[in-house]
Structures are given as C-alpha cells and as structure tokens.
Amino acid sequence: MRNLYTGEPHQLALEALRHADNRIPIPQASTQQAYLESQILAHLNSGGWWWAHPLGISAIRPSDRWPVVLLDSHTELSGGAAHPMSDFAIVQLLPYAEPGIQVHAIPGVRVAATRGADLHLAMIGTDARVILRATKGTNWRQELSERRESLLDGKLHPLWEEPGLTHYEREHEAEAPLTMRAERNLAWLGSGLFRRIALFHTSSSAYSTRSWIQSDEWRIELDTATGVSLDHNGFLARLCDRSWGIPLKIERHNCTCHLQFPPNRPLSRQCTYYLAHTHDDSGELQIRFRSERAFEDDGVRATLESVGAEQSWLNRVLPATEASEDAEASR
Ligand SMILES: [Zn+2]
C-alpha cells in the first residue's frame, strides 16, 4: 500500500527491505522540516517541463530522519533539449541574488553536503534536511561549481554556501511578509504531498501534472487525455485515506462528469475540488482535474518516452490512438 504513495519498491527496494517498514504509515514532518519539503515541491514545479515521473521524482523514502528523494535522470522543456535533472534541481532550488531586484529559488536553503550522487539540502538555522539522490554518475560538486561560475559571470550572487542568512534573503523575506506567512501555513500540505509524490504517478490518470502556490492556496492541475477515464474519485480517496493519506476533507466541488458533450469534438472540461485540513483552517488545496486533448500532434508521448517514462504508465495515461500510430509509422 505504502509504495503507491512513495514509489519505494521500484527504486528503493533494497533499502525498504532492509528497513522492512513498508507497512508503516507515512510519518508527518516537524514544522521546519515540512517547510523545507514544501518549498522544494513548490519550486520543482514550473509548467512546460516533462519528466518520466510527475515533477521529476520517481520515489521518496520519507521514514528516515531526513527524507531521500530519487530524481529522474533528466527533464525536457516542451520542444526543447534534454536537461539533467540534477542541474534543473540546482537552478530551481538553490538561492541566488540579483542585487537590488530579488532572491531567486528558495531563500535560506544551503548545501549541507555532497556524497556521491546525493545532495544534502538544509534550511539555515534549523535541522531540516532533504537528500536529493540523482542518477548514478552525477557529480554534484562539479555541477555546483559550474553553476556558481555561470552566476558570477552574470553578476549574480550564489547564496547556497553562505554561512548565515544574507542581507539579500532578509530583505526578500521582509518585502513579502504575507506571502511568507501563507507559504509557512501551507507547509503541512506541501510536505504531505511531497511525502506522497508517487500518488501522481500510480493513482492519477493524468499525463501532465502541475502544481503551484497562489496566495494561501496550493493548486494542482492534472491533465487527463480525452478518451481516458477521468477517475478523480479514486485519486481523492487515496489522497484523503485515513491511514496513508493527508488529513484532508473535501469542502466543496464542481464536477462536470455528468454533462453530455457532443461526440467527435475535441473537448476540454474540468472538475474542481477544494480540500481543507480535517480539523484546522490553515490553507486550502485546489485540484483541477482536467480532461484535455492529448496533443498527439505535438508529440507529448514521444517527449515522455525520450525522458524515460515507463511504457506501462504511458499506455495507461496516453494510450496510442490511430492518429498517433499513423504519425509514428510515417516518421
Ligand atoms: Zn467530475
């Protein structure tokens, strides 16, 4: 059961067996730890990128003191070139200052250690830590030094090795106190989703997953191909499961499943669900289950194949249509 939520058996099978805790429910993170995890989840997301697994994470091992996150090998921007996931993570997560303008990525994040293919990320002034495990052969140290060079060339300041919170980061936090508070209030939710990241791969019918924070709301947009059943009830049941899920309840929803649409017309429809914590009122989760034309012509399936998506998953979320088979044959 747990593997549906964490993705462990495929990638972390040996460790899981050693620890033999595959039946232990997913522990909740402490406040500081939850904040770091939720920020990582929020920043790994920016629309337009494709991964073998939603958001580029194939599995998470949440039970140790510090969660270990397994990254996909690479990512691809729509219509663009392949990009190592390790470098993508560095760019999205490690803070740097554009003097006088703003701090990019996650203020306060520091590199605590590099050990082989593992990058230890810490939140300054706390004992929160997340271990990013890249594919074998990844040289974090070299990638970090290349990133540092390229930032300095552009007159930008890398901050991930600074011993204390820099004045750039303090100013950044002081300028947007409401945003900071809202993001801290959403930490339990972001961490809850982060620790169950595999649900988006194992239990969702979507071929595309996006997520972002909008004021005090966490939003997730899941695109399911038209012709594939939009099973939001199954996904929501697992997400809200009492033993394995996040303590969430559905507050309100707008379901369009019963509406009739004319046949043979590309359609786009959406069922929207609003969820809140079962017993306190900090933050809301909005999930948009969208039924979308799967853009066969744009080669989404080919892109997902090129970044290493499993065939069994692709056959479920993007079953080959006659049109796409013709396109494949004529290539
Ligand atoms: Zn519906």
Output the DSSP codes for 116-147: TTEEEEEETTS--EEEEE--TT--HHHHHHHH
Report the separation in Å between the CA atom of 1 and the middle of ligand 1, taken as the mean of its atom positions.
Answer: 25
Q: How far apart are CA 231 and CA 55, in angstroms?
A: 20
CA atoms within 13 A on the CB side of 48: 6
- Span 301-325, average pLDDT: 83
In the reported structure, the alpha carbon of residue 232 is separated from the centroid of ligand 1 by a whole-number distance in angstroms of: 7
Instruction: Return the half-sphere exposure (C-beta side, CA atoms, 13 A cut-off) of residue 279.
Output: 1
pLDDT band at 33 (very low <50, low <70, confident <90, very high): very high
The whole-number average pLDDT for the span 258-279 is 82
Extended strands (E) in 226-281: 248-254, 269-277
Q: Could you read off the pLDDT of 251-262 as tens digits, one per residue? A: 999 999 888 766
Residue 297 pLDDT > 60:
no
Tell how far the Cα of 201 is from the centroid of ligand 1, in angstroms.
19
Closest CA to 202 of 76, 317, 46: 317
Residue 224: φ, ψ to 5°: -105, 135
Look up the pTM and report it: 0.91
Query: How wide is the angle at C-alpha 9 spanned by C-alphas 8 and 14, nearest 5°?
Result: 100
- Please name the helix (run of DSSP H) or strand (run of DSSP E) that holds residue 222, with its range, or none: strand 217-225
* Distance set, CA 313 to CA 52, 104, 129, 175, 204 (Å): 9, 34, 31, 43, 10
Mean pLDDT of all residues belonging to the chain = 88
How would residue 300 be classed by pLDDT, with cut points 50, 70 and 90?
confident
Q: How far apart are CA 128 and CA 130, in angstroms?
A: 7
CA distances from 167 to 98, 124, 242 (A): 12, 14, 43
Q: What is the pLDDT, as a whole number, of residue 18? A: 59
User: Mean pLDDT throughout 57-69?
Assistant: 87
Element (H, E) at 70: strand 68-71
pLDDT at 178: 87
Distance 22 CA to ligand 1 centre (A): 32
pLDDT tens digits along 82-101: 788 999 999 999 999 998 88
What is the CA(32)–ligand 1 centre distance, in A?
Answer: 36
Going from the Cα of 105 to the center of ligand 1, the distance in angstroms, rounded, reads 35
Distance 275 CA to ligand 1 centre (A): 15
- The pLDDT of residue 323 is above 60: no
Q: Identify the band that residue 331 occupies on the pLDDT scale cut at 50, 70 and 90.
A: very low
Tell me the helices (H) and strands (E) count for the chain, helix number first.
13, 16
The candidate with the shortest Cα–Cα distance to 190, out of 53, 31, 73, is 31
Would you state the pLDDT for residue 10?
A: 54
233 CA to middle of ligand 1, Å? 8
Q: How many Å lie between the centroid of ligand 1 and the Cα of residue 230?
A: 7
Q: Which of 25-29, 209-213, 281-285, 318-322 has the lowest mean pLDDT?
A: 318-322
pLDDT at 288 over 50: yes
Q: What's the pLDDT score for residue 153?
A: 97
Summarised one tens digit per residue, pLDDT across range 161-174 is 999 999 999 999 99
| Residue 291 alpha carbon to ligand 1 centre in Å | 10
In the reported structure, the alpha carbon of residue 69 is separated from the centroid of ligand 1 by a whole-number distance in angstroms of 32
Q: Is the pLDDT assigned to residue 17 strictly greater than 80?
A: no
In angstroms, what is the span from residue 268 Cα to ligand 1's centroid?
12
CA–centroid distance, residue 267 to ligand 1 (Å): 14
Give percent of the chain above pLDDT 70: 86
pLDDT digits (tens, 9 = 90+) for 106-163: 999 999 999 999 999 999 999 999 999 999 999 999 999 999 999 999 999 999 999 9
- State in Å: Cα 257 to ligand 1 middle: 4
pLDDT, one tens digit per residue, over 219-233 is: 999 999 988 998 899
Q: How far apart are the CA of 255 and the centre of ligand 1, in A?
A: 4
Q: Which two tokens stand for residue 131?
A: 């271990």
Query: Hey, is 309 helix, strand or coil?
Result: coil
Distance in Å, CA 271 to ligand 1 centroid: 5
- How far is ligand 1, taken at its centre, from the CA of residue 57, in Å? 27
% the chain with pLDDT above 90? 61
In which band, very low, low, confident or very high, does the pLDDT at 247 lie, cut at 50, 70 and 90? Answer: very high
Distance CA 289, CA 174 (A): 36
User: Does residue 62 contact residue 192 with C-beta atoms inside 8 Å?
Assistant: no
